[in-house]
Amino acid sequence: MSSNKKPIKRIAFYGKGGIGKSTTSANLSAALSKQGLKVMQIGCDPKADSTMLLSRSKVPTVLNVIREKQDQIALSDFVIEGFNGVLCVEVGGPTPGVGCAGQGIIGAFGKMNELKAIETYQPDVVIYDVLGDVVCGGFAVPLRDGYAEDVYIISSGERMSLFAAYNISQAVHQFRNRGYAKLKGLIFNSKGGNNEEQRVLESLEEIGTKLAFTFPRDPIVQKCEKESITVIEGAPESELANKYRQLASILMR
């Protein structure tokens, strides 16, 4: 018997730490959920703060649950429902000072596969929010093995952010002939600096991608973050919320 269910859309957002990647991911998850889609957001950062604007608090990480419960683990131990039904997952990190965060991602993804997280929840969209300061084998996992199909880099016009964007693009291109994820573009998240947009535009050729979308600096982001909510929830009629909704629609094409 054939199924009419559409294939799962799998999107990975990479970028330098502190660039607004998690804020963007959470708002896009919220916007997609408001379009009637079932969304799962997986935070792949040892800080485990990717989903805080959706869950309003830190959720138990996969790695902590593994350490505490070992083999007695249920999906409900680390898959937490957040704003508008968005499924929130945080990979987490190793014990501080011990172990490798990249290896932790590999172990956490392995456990989610073992427990059949995607098959059980059957989301329409899976968003991977991945730290891009270091693109080692562990942090590159969402690029491989069928996890993500589309990759977007989030960057400001700051030099180190663009440097990270270049490194991320090189990692994606390493896998381009193997049927893995493809780099779809750079999302410019403005910090409001002088000539910032020009620096981004001048860097696109070297990075090897196109400009996919631009977010202007907007204080409404900080206002909503202080309340631990997304702009989609806290300021749904704002122009910025409209921009998140616009990009959410682009992602699903």
Q: Catalytic: 133?
A: yes
**Residue from 9, 21, 111, 243 carrying the catalytic annotation:** 21
H helices within the chain, ranges in order?
Answer: 21-34, 52-55, 62-69, 101-114, 117-121, 159-174, 196-207, 220-226, 231-234, 239-251
CA–CA distance, 101 with 46 (Å, rounded to integer): 7
CA–CA distance, 55 with 170 (Å, rounded to integer): 33
Cβ partners under 8 Å of residue 161, min gap 6: 15, 16, 19, 155
Q: Catalytic: 34?
A: no
Q: Give me the torsion for CA of 41, 215, 239, 149, rounded to 10°.
A: -30
> For the range 172-175, what are the long-range contacts, defined as Cβ-Cβ under 8 Å and sequence gap of 24 or more?
172/143, 173/208, 175/143, 175/144
Q: Catalytic: 16?
A: yes
Assess contact for 74 and 121: CB atoms under 8 A. Answer: no
**Residue from 45, 124, 129, 133 carrying the catalytic annotation:** 133
**Residue from 16, 111, 184, 243 carrying the catalytic annotation:** 16
Closest CA to 129 of 47, 59, 31, 249: 47
Catalytic residues: 16, 21, 47, 133
